Structure 1
Amino acid sequence: MDKRLKNLRKTMDREVFAQLKFTESHKKSIREKIKQATHSDEEILIAIMQLLVQEKTGYQLVSLLQSRGILNFKENEGALYVILHRLELKGILTSNWQEDGAKFYQLNKKGCRLLKKVEEQPLSNHMSFKEIFEG
């Protein structure tokens, strides 16, 4: 198997990557973006709220967050449900059970107003995770 992979890499280098040219600045910017892959609690909360403008299950949320590059819940989906439960207790979202046993979450009017307020602020002034849950 190892030999096949080496041959594949050689073929890819010769056929595909030979046409690609990356400058050092381009390589550097890619490395920096990879390092920035971690997201703050506030960014994660905003992403969750943005996705909950329309009704979704927790499973759908995890998938959509992963597609946004937020991998915090990939190995620990339970942490997402804790956040959803807190948002529900704060009156920011509502949930309902469907006949098939799936629980759906969606921002209510208060949650939509809060999301709009947060999105209008500059990133440096975003409400903290603590402010949303306590305020």
Structure 2
Amino acid sequence: MEDRLKNLKKAMDQRAFSQLNFTEKHRRNIREKINQQTENDEDILLAVMLLLVHEKTGFELTKLLRGRGIRKFEDNEGFLYTFLHRLEQSGSIQSSWTEDEAKYYQLTDIGRKVLRKIEKKQNKKQVVLKELFER
């Protein structure tokens, strides 16, 4: 674990979690849930499209997706490029090569429309969940 994360954990243990006591079984259950791949295709599509509002390489995209907790591409980066190829075939993204032979991906106008639809759908889900929990 990085030093800055160790320091954060130490500070949180001293302040935020000082009153909490977790059993080892509870810790294991939490770790299992964190490590489960629960992202669905729609969540992945939304994340990819949000990231491609600005031009990115596949490598940059993989790092940013990992940072968002999406690990589906981690062991199989070929899957990401297949996914990007499908988006390109649908007209949602376009790719271009630079002089240094790096391939960049970015949303097209069609992709922006699709992104707005997905975002609206996500917002509706959040409203429904919020209403359910406020009752």
Could you tell me whether the CA contact under 8 Å between 2:93 and 2:106 is conserved in 1?
yes
Could you tell me whether the CA contact under 8 Å between 1:37 and 1:69 is conserved in 2?
no
> 1:21: how far off?
3.1
Q: Deviations over 1:86-119 (max 9, x none)?
A: 1001000100000011000000111001101110
Which is higher, the Rg of structure 1 or of structure 2?
A: 1
TM (norm. structure 2) is 0.69
**Which amino acid letter does the alignment assign opposite residue 108 of structure 1?**
T
Superposition RMSD on alpha carbons, in Å? 2.7
Runs of 4+ in 1 over 4 A off after TM superposition: 15-18
Decide whether aligned partners of structure 1 residues 102 and 109 sit closer, same or farther in structure 2, where only a CA change above 3 A counts. Answer: same
> 1:69: how far off?
0.4
CA–CA distance in 1 between the matches of 2:39 and 2:11? 33
TM (norm. structure 1) is 0.69
Unaligned runs of 5+ in 2: 1-9, 127-135
CA–CA distance in 1 between the matches of 2:109 and 2:115? 10
- Share of identical aligned residues, percent? 47
Q: Deviations over 1:5-36 (max 9, x none)?
A: xxxxxxxxxx8787333266xx78x9286266
**Which amino acid letter does the alignment assign opposite residue 41 of structure 2?**
D
Q: Paired residue for 1:21, among 19, 43, 48?
A: 19
Unaligned runs of 5+ in 1: 1-14, 125-135
> 1:75: how far off?
1.1
1:95 corresponding residue in structure 2:
95
Decide whether aligned partners of structure 1 residues 23 and 48 sit closer, same or farther in structure 2, where only a CA change above 3 A counts. Answer: same
Could you tell me whether the CA contact under 8 Å between 2:96 and 2:104 is conserved in 1?
yes
